[in-house]
Amino acid sequence: MKKLIFLSGTKGGTGKTTLALNSAVLLAYLWRDVAHYPVVFLDLTPNIGTAALILLGDPLAAWGRPSLSDFAAGRISDPLRAFYIRRWNTEKGAFQLVFTYMAQDVPLTKRQLEYMMQIVESRLRPKILFIDAPPLSAGSPVVGLVDYVAPVVTPDVSALEATKSYVELVGGKRLKPILNMYIPEYSISAVHGMSWELLIEKTFGERPHIIPFDKLLQAARQALEIEVLKLRPAESPGVKALVEYARYLASTVG
Amino acid sequence: MWLFVGILLNIAAFALCVLGQTLVAASVYLVSLAFIFIGGRGRKEKREEKRQVETRREPTPDEIKRRPVSSPEI
């Protein structure tokens, strides 16, 4: 089982959740015949993150159900009791994603997270585990526990600075950086006098994968829907770029 | 284009009428009406087409919500 996180350091609003959730769904679909539970998704955002809300399908669905917060607080001993399955039926067959979330703001220790990962690996045997964490600092429990880190930045100097400081700290192999919400008309960083593409290449040593700003992605998010399941690459350049990155992940991580 | 020619002919018909060439003015006037009608119709069609393309390009969150789940193109 490979563990992957999309990271922007202490910076929020860069699109980590959108990238993690869409990539997880795409790989779950791609590997639907390879493993029974090909992809597991951890939403570590306290008080229910956006990804968990979308996967649950109803903001009230989390009420009364065990979550990772209960495991962190010692109310349940088996972390798998806090895991759920979301299943989709499409014209080309059914596929599923296993996920969990934090219903309350209870600190999860590194030891608990490590134990939970061991249980997931031994009992669910997924190919990949996606971790969607809120903007993280050096004290985050995920530090040192991931195999792959995908840096996500927006055309914003603070996003770039916050991300580059934390990529090394989290550990794991760095994947191709992502330049999200890119507007081609504003391609130059006014602070550096250099194109954003070159600036990111200079920072991370690799040309970024560009995901253009796309109003349709915003509309799908407002509808609490998973973009790649409701929009076609032909109508949405954002979805097209998400699919291309998932293909890259499948060839690199899988 | 048709509309522009129609308006010019209409002005010419008026000028001919003022000059006393009533019969010629009447025929020019009829031709100008035909041009104006064709030009006006073409414009309306274009505007409707444009509106349809715009709606297709940007579905609302509600429309996206109501779409069925489709298999991802990966």
pLDDT, tens only, A21-56: 999 999 999 999 999 999 999 999 999 999 999 999
pLDDT, tens only, A116-162: 999 999 999 999 999 999 998 778 999 999 999 999 999 999 999 99
Q: Which residues of chain B make contact with A91, given a CB cutoff of 8 A?
A: 70-71
A111 part of contact set with chain B, CB < 8 Å: no
Q: Which residues of chain A make contact with B64, given a CB cutoff of 8 A?
A: 216, 219-220, 223, 225, 230-231
pLDDT, tens only, A162-187: 999 899 889 999 999 999 999 999 99
pLDDT, tens only, A88-103: 999 999 999 999 999 9
For chain A, how many structural domains are there in total?
1
Domain assignments of chain B as residue spans, ordered by start: 2-57
Which of helix, strand or coil describes residue B19?
coil
pTM (2 d.p.): 0.82
CATH of the domain at A231: 3.40.50.300
**Closest to A138 measured CA to CA, from A167, A181, A113, A177:** A167
Domain that holds residue A19: 2-252
How close A90 gets to chain B, by Cα (Å)?
A: 5
pLDDT, tens only, A187-230: 999 999 999 999 999 999 999 999 999 999 999 999 999 999 99
Contact B71 A222 (CB under 8 A): no
Q: Give the dihedral of Cα atoms A78, A138, A43, A230; nearest 10 deg.
A: -160
What DSSP state is assigned to residue A146? -
